[in-house]
């Protein structure tokens, strides 16, 4: 299940360091956002979500930040582990149940 291949932006991080993956979304009317993780050969897997009435939400080792002013979303992964290596997608929903997915960022965790 590789997604976008040759032209995917790649973030390389040392194991144990924090990772920050960014996403610019397109529609100022979007009110719900999701981060997905996709490992090779698998479908996207839900990580964390946030609604537009919030600017920060925390999960286990992950934090999502939303800046509606500049239409920017970020995913922070604390203490990055080898198992975090994957492609990460943001998805926005404009309220119609149709999600717009970003092109993805490949995270490589270096041992």
Site residues (vs another protein, CB under 8 A): 1-7, 32, 34, 36, 41-46, 49, 89, 93, 95-99, 101-104
Q: How far is the CB of 71 from another protein (least distance, A)?
A: 18
Backbone torsions φ then ψ of 91, nearest 5 degrees: -135, 140
Provide φ and ψ at 82, rounded to 5°: -55, -35
Closer to another protein at the Cβ: 34 or 109?
A: 34
Please state the closest distance from residue 97 (CB atom) to another protein, in A: 4
Beta-carbon contacts of 12 under 8 Å, excluding residues fewer than 6 positions away, are 108, 109, 110
Nearer to another protein, 61 or 99 (CB): 99
CB 87 within 8 A of CB 105: yes
Nearest distance from C-beta of residue 15 to another protein, angstroms: 27
Please say which residue, 42 or 56, places its beta carbon nearer to another protein: 42
Please, what is the minimum distance in Å from the beta carbon of residue 58 to another protein? 17
Q: Are 101 and 35 in contact (CB under 8 A)?
A: no
> Which two tokens mark 42?
């698998």
> In this complex, which beta carbon is closest to another protein, that of residue 13 or of residue 34?
34
Q: Is the Cβ–Cβ distance between 91 and 100 less than 8 Å?
A: yes
């Amino acid at each position: 299940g590789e997604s976008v291949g040759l032209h995917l932006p790649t973030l390389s991080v040392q194991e144990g360091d924090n990772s920050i993956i960014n996403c610019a979304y397109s529609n100022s009317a979007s009110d719900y956002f999701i981060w997905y993780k996709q490992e090779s050969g698998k479908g996207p897997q839900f990580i964390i979500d946030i609604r537009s009435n919030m600017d920060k939400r925390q999960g286990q080792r992950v934090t999502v930040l939303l800046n509606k002013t500049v239409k920017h979303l970020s995913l922070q992964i604390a203490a990055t582990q080898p198992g975090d290596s994957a492609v990460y997608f943001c998805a926005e929903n404009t309220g119609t149940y149709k999600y717009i997915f970003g092109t993805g960022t490949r995270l490589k965790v270096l041992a």
